[in-house]
Amino acid sequence: MGQAQRSDAGSVPRNRAEYAVERRRKQSGTGSRTGSARGKSARDNISVIYGGGSQKRAGSGAHRSARNGKESASRRSADRDGLENLDLWEISRESDDTRMMRLADREQVRPVQRSARSRPYPDRRYTGNPRPVNSVKRRRARKRRLNLYRLFVFLMIGVCLILIYQTTGAVYRMLHSTKPSGGRGIVEVMSEKTEANRIQPPEIMVDYLEPNDFSRPGTELRKIKSVFVHYTANPGTSAAQNRSYFANLATTQERSASAHFIIGYEGELIQCIPLEEQAYAVATRNEDSVSIECCYVDENGEFTQETYDTLVHTLAWLTQEYHLSVDDILRHYDCGGKKCPIYYVEHEEAWEKLLADVENYKPEKP
């Protein structure tokens, strides 16, 4: 006890922590009781932090020299921690702040707790959160699926290109192959069949009217939707005579009238106006229709067989050329109510037979 008191009173501090305490005590007032008490309490706290290290330091020099290098290293580390904790403790005591004192006490005890903490399983290692590993696996799996999908698409495109190439080659060889019998290709054969089934125009005598305001106005006919059938209303007159009547209207100017075609009672066919121009035949449909005037002999307006045959042929040819159907063949009566042609207005069954003959018309074989 006597030695410990003398050491506290005038001996040189044994380590850095005690030296720091002595320096603060001298700065605050050498020899005052308050400073001595603070230094003593500080040394007591150092003893607590070091786990009874002050009692061991108070021992003889022989006991300290008996420690190995490992304990010396531990002591130096503890001294550094104790010095830092001592600073915190001194600041808290000087400011008389209860919160700072609690903080200093907590910091003093924490190194002891950390040093006392031991790892129960030293070989076990923390591997981290497993979620990032799973995310990497999912991304890799998604990338593999995407690569497989792209490969599949490329393969399908390649197969399609090969099929198209083979099909094109087969069609080309089929079109340009020659038959052993006739030596003609399939294109030539198909052309001949199409030409054989195609309706050729009837024999037409082209005799256009001179342009005038009463029979040939020269107005453009942009489209053809219908074909109208008329009769001349003048029994026993020929196609040439009716053509002359249309031409004389430019002089007489008594009315406006004309037609694209005139069929005589002997079957002759005269074209008075080009198919690219309008005729004065149906007032409300001149801009999109073609008109055919038919001559007759009987008073009832029935056509001769020659007129009928030429009319059927002409109607079949026009519907083919302008992609029309039999429903597009009309009487003048169907647009305006005029009884023209009178025989086919009064005999509906004759008109239906005419349309059926046009639909079933077959070109004559040469």
Higher pLDDT, 110 or 334: 334
Q: What is the mean pLDDT of residues 136-157?
A: 88
Q: Where are the domains of the chain?
A: 2-116, 205-359
Does the pLDDT of residue 187 top 60, yes or no? Answer: no
Average pLDDT on 7-31 reads 58
Taking a C-beta distance cutoff of 8 angstroms, is the pair 335, 285 a contact? yes
Average pLDDT, the chain: 76
pLDDT at 54 over 50: no
Residue 112: per-residue pLDDT: 47
Across residues 124-141, what is the average pLDDT? 68
So what's the pLDDT on residue 91? 53
Cα dihedral: 177, 178, 179, 185 (round 10): 90
At 309-352, the pLDDT tens digits run 999 999 999 999 999 999 999 999 999 899 999 999 999 999 99
Residue 217 clears pLDDT 90, i.e. is over it? yes
∠ CA(242), CA(244), CA(247), 5° rounding? 115
Please tell me the CATH superfamily of domain 205-359, with its number.
Peptidoglycan recognition protein-like (3.40.80.10)
- Flag whether pLDDT at 252 surpasses 90: yes
Question: Which of the listed ranges 2-11, 135-144, 162-171, 232-241 does the model predict with the highest average pLDDT?
Answer: 232-241
For residue 205, pLDDT beyond 80: yes
Residue 68's pLDDT is what?
54
Per-residue exposure over 310-328, b if at least 16 CB sit within 10 Å of its own CB, e if not: bbbbbbbbbbbeeebebeb
Cβ(353)–Cβ(310) below 8 Å: no
| Higher pLDDT, residue 245 or 92 | 245
> Are the CB atoms for 25 and 47 separated by under 8 Å?
no
Q: Indicate the pTM of the whole model.
A: 0.50
- pLDDT of 164 > 80? The answer is yes
Which tens digits make up the pLDDT trace of 270-284? 999 999 999 999 999
Query: Looking at the predicted structure, is the pLDDT value of residue 203 above 50?
Result: yes
- Supply the pLDDT for residue 116: 46
The answer on pLDDT for 59 being more than 50 is no
